[in-house]
Chains A and B, each alone.
Chain A
Amino acid sequence: MDPVQRVVLRRRRQDLAFKVLGIGCTLIGLVTLALLLADLAFDGLARINWQFVTSFPSRAAARAGVLSAWVGTLLVMLVTALVAVPLGVAAGVYLEEYAPKNRITTIIEINIANLAGVPSIIYGLMALGLFVYALGLGPSVVAGGLTLAVLILPIVIVATRESLRAVPPSIREAAYAMGATKWQVTWHHLLPCASAGIATGVIIGLSRAIGETAPLITIGALTFIAFLPPSPLQAQPPYLSFDWLKSPFMVLPIQMFNWLSRPTRDFHANAAATGIILVAITLALNSVAVAIRYRMRKRVKW
């Protein structure tokens, strides 16, 4: 074999070897994910039934359930979404459409980029000092919801900005040419065009918030609770009640952590079952986000 052929052959082998390595490393990630899901299913699937979803936690593992945890998660998420979506979208619109190029804008932009890198437990400490004590909200549903809203705010802002940036300038120019004001352009044209992308960001943010444990433990969410917050709907006028906002709460990941830190197998099975519910919710939310993104890419052609 002549030397040139040998070099060529060696380089081909190098490429092949790296290909194998790359596939191997990708598989490490995917196999771990599969193992994790299989392990959860193996340990916890037997515990998932109607009783588990409709019972309060209990000292007896077999009678315990996640009722207070999923109700808590639902209520906290409601507050989180109601705060993070308007605030995040408004901030995104300002930075992308309104902001002048000056020092204040630069500061806000750098600040948002840095906020995304702050560990979630730091948000918990901020919320403990600010929401729980300084504002006197206590370890309540509204404090928990605000904490997670602050946590996912950068995600919503970045998603809003990216979707607005994807709207072609011709849409803006056409609307301005018809005499629309800046807000009319934004409200009637840009936001509807960007809505799918914004929705994707909001869903990703909420799915992250649902799994967050540490910041809620830090603000003092309960780890054992055998009652539900007062219902928002009342039989008597005024029919609506906001007492649930001030109620103590627990959430699914804290329930899972609590059962996991007990030594017995039965409670570990409960933890696994809670984990299945959590993973199912987050994976479902992520698939919805991916589906929206996919449909958007197919349908919208500028």
Chain B
Amino acid sequence: MDDLAWHSTGAMARRRLRAWIDRGIATLLFLAASSSVLITAGIVGILLVESARFFAHVSLGDFLTDTLWTPGFANARYGILPLVAGTLVTTGVALLVALPIGTIVAIYLSEFAPPRLREGVKPLLELLSAVPTVVYGYFALLFVTPLLQRVVPGLPSFSMLSAGLVMGIMIVPYVTSLSEDAMRAVPMILREGSFALGANRVVTSFRVVYPAALSGIASAYILGISRAIGETMIVAIAAGMQPNLTFNPLEPAETVTAYIVKVSLGDLPHGTIGYQSIFAAGLTLFLMTLGFNIVGYWLRKRFREAY
């Protein structure tokens, strides 16, 4: 190539420079993409290191089986169970609201609603998940709780019920959006087959479309569960900040997330056991969401249908 008359050495040099620049940029882009792996490593590393320091003081057995969480007391006890119970109850209440409503809305929008209505309603519903959670906390504490107190006499001003209900409404669009996408991806031919056999829309939706889309719907449910477990501000504001080992949603209780917020609001010095305890709580939270995501991954694989 070099001896071709029209190919000057200047053009060659420029071309080589361009190749170098290209390779440099490719490396930079790769580094940017790998930063996400670094973030994960950072999360896991920090949680493990600080938790390890925590577990040097508190035995893992006590942490998992003690029924008291009293870090502020002179005789401090660190049993995670009350906090986990708080998280599970608020999550349970939220899911009782979000999963049925979210699924019904998704089926309605995907199988029943006229397209124009669907296009109008979907962004409106998604606004529900755009509202900051601290605003939901306000709504739960100062609107929903007083309302519930009229129906449920003796309901305290902080309750897991109120926080869970509001959290459930917040999660509806997460469930709806993904489930609806999954159901709309089910090929028309399956519905047509069902209609041809004389089934109506309800039967087609529940017996044909829903099972066919189950893999996608499972991811929607798992996302909803992760949101509920990790939700912080609504429960910190409306469910109370006192550890309480109970499964009664009418009582106030502290969740794992609310504990982390409560400690962070105070002025805990770096390196104390109180400081380390929020990382142990965080690790618990991380493992809970990870557990549900692994279950979800397995469900997705199990129910995947290819067309």
Interface residues, chain A, with chain B CB atoms under 8 Å away: 11-12, 14-15, 17-19, 21-23, 25-26, 28-30, 32-33, 35-36, 39-40, 43, 86-87, 90-91, 93-95, 98-99, 107-108, 111-112, 114-115, 117-126, 128-130, 133, 150, 153-154, 157, 181-183, 207-208, 210-214, 217-220, 223, 253, 256-257, 260-261, 268, 271-272, 275, 278-279, 282-283, 286, 290
Cβ A218 vs Cβ B260 within 8 A: yes
A29 and B265: CB pair below 8 A? Answer: no
Q: Tell me whether A282 and B128 are in contact in the complex, defined as CB-CB below 8 angstroms, given that A15-B201, A256-B135 are known contacts.
A: no
Find out whether the CB atom of A119 lies under 8 angstroms from the CB atom of B37.
no
Q: Are A115 and B39 in contact (CB under 8 A)?
A: yes
Q: Given A18-B202, A211-B132 in contact, is the A117-B226 Cβ separation under 8 Å? A: yes
Give the docked Cα–Cα distance between A283 and B132 (Å): 10
Closest-CB distance, B83 to chain A (whole angstroms): 13
Tell whether, in the assembled complex, residue A182 and residue B26 are in contact, meaning their CB atoms are under 8 Å apart.
yes
Report yes or no: A183 in contact with B22, Cβ–Cβ below 8 A.
yes
Q: Which residues of A contact B172 (CB under 8 A)?
A: 29
Q: Is the CB of A91 within 8 A of B112?
A: no
Contact at A182–B22, with CB atoms within 8 Å? Answer: yes
Please give, as numbers and ranges, the residues of chain A lying within 8 Å of B261 by CB-CB distance: 121, 214, 217-218
B133 within 8 A of A: yes
The residues of A that contact B52 with a CB separation of less than 8 Å are none
Binds A, one of B58-66, B99-107, B148-156: B99-107
Contact status of A18 and B112, CB under 8 A, knowing A213-B133, A268-B142: yes
Q: Are the C-beta atoms of A125 and B40 separated by less than 8 Å?
A: no
* Given contact pairs A40-B135, A108-B37, A213-B133, A91 touches B265 in the complex (Cβ within 8 A): no
**How far apart sit A260 and B136, CA to CA, in the bound complex (Å)?**
12
Chain A contacts of B105 at CB under 8 A? Answer: 22, 25-26, 29
Residue of B nearest to A221 (CB): B264
Contact A33 B39 (CB under 8 A): no
Q: Select the residue from A43, A95, A114, A126 with max chain B CB neighbours within 10 A.
A: A126
B30 on the A face (CB < 8 A): yes
A-B contact pairs, 26 of them (CB 8 A): A14-B200, A18-B201, A21-B108, A22-B113, A25-B100, A26-B109, A29-B125, A36-B131, A39-B143, A43-B142, A108-B36, A111-B37, A118-B43, A119-B257, A125-B47, A129-B49, A130-B42, A150-B39, A153-B39, A217-B265, A218-B264, A253-B134, A257-B134, A275-B132, A283-B127, A290-B123
B28 lies within 8 A of A90 (CB): yes
Per-residue interface assignment for chain B, residues 116 to 138, with 1 indicating a CB less than 8 Å from any chain A CB and 0 otherwise:
00000101111110111111111
Tell me, yes or no, whether B245 is within 8 Å of chain A by CB.
Answer: no
- 0/1 string, B1-40, CB within 8 A of A gives 1: 0000000000000000011011001101110111111011
- Which chain A positions have C-beta within 8 A of B202? 11, 14-15, 17-18
Q: Is B46 an interface residue (CB 8 A)?
A: yes
Report the bound CA distance from A118 to B112 in whole Å: 34
Q: Which of B69-77, B183-191, B210-218, B277-285 contacts the other chain?
A: B277-285
Chain B, 235-257, contact with A by CB distance < 8 Å: what is the 0/1 string?
01100000000000000000001
- In the bound complex, CA of A18 to CA of B104 (Å): 9
Nearest chain A CB to B285's CB is how many angstroms away?
A: 6
**Least distance between B279 CB and chain A CB atoms (Å):** 6
CA distance A208 to B285 in the complex (A): 21
Whether B302 is near chain A, meaning CB under 8 Å from some CB there, is: no
Q: Which of A40, A130, A157, A282 contacts B130 (CB 8 A)?
A: A282
Indicate if B301 sits at the interface (CB-CB under 8 A).
no
If over half of B's interface residues share one DSSP class (helix, strand or loop), that class is named, otherwise mixed; here it is helix
Which one of B42, B108, B173 lies within 8 Å of A25 (CB-CB)?
A: B108
- A125 touches which of B133, B169, B279 (Cβ 8 Å): B279
Contacts of B126 in A (CB 8 A): 286
B36 touches A112 (CB 8 A): yes
Task: Tell yes or no: B274 within 8 A of A by CB.
Answer: no
Please measure, in the bound complex, the distance between the C-alpha atom of A11 and the C-alpha atom of B203, giving whole angstroms: 9
For A94, list chain B residues within 8 Å (CB): 26, 29-30, 32-33
A260 touches B33 (CB 8 A): no
Highest count of chain A CB atoms <10 Å: which of B35, B135, B141, B201:
B135
User: Which residue, of B113, B138, B229, B231, has the highest number of chain A Cβ atoms within 10 A?
Assistant: B138
Contacts of A32 in B (CB 8 A): 128, 169
Inter-subunit contact B232/A213 (CB<8 Å): yes
Q: A12-B200, A115-B40 known; A90 and B139 CB under 8 Å? A: no
With A33-B124, A87-B32, A125-B278: A223-B265 Cβ-Cβ less than 8 Å? yes
A29 touches B173 (CB 8 A): yes
Closest to B21 in A: A183
Query: How far is B131's CA from A208's CA once the two chains are assembled, in angstroms?
Result: 9
Question: Is A275 within 8 A of B282, CB to CB?
Answer: no
Which B residues touch A124, using CB under 8 A? 260, 264
Which residues of A have CB within 8 Å of B229? 119
Residues of A within 8 A of B49 (CB): 129
CB of B282 within 8 A of CB of A121, answer yes
Q: How far is the CA of A129 from the CA of B46 in the complex (A)?
A: 6
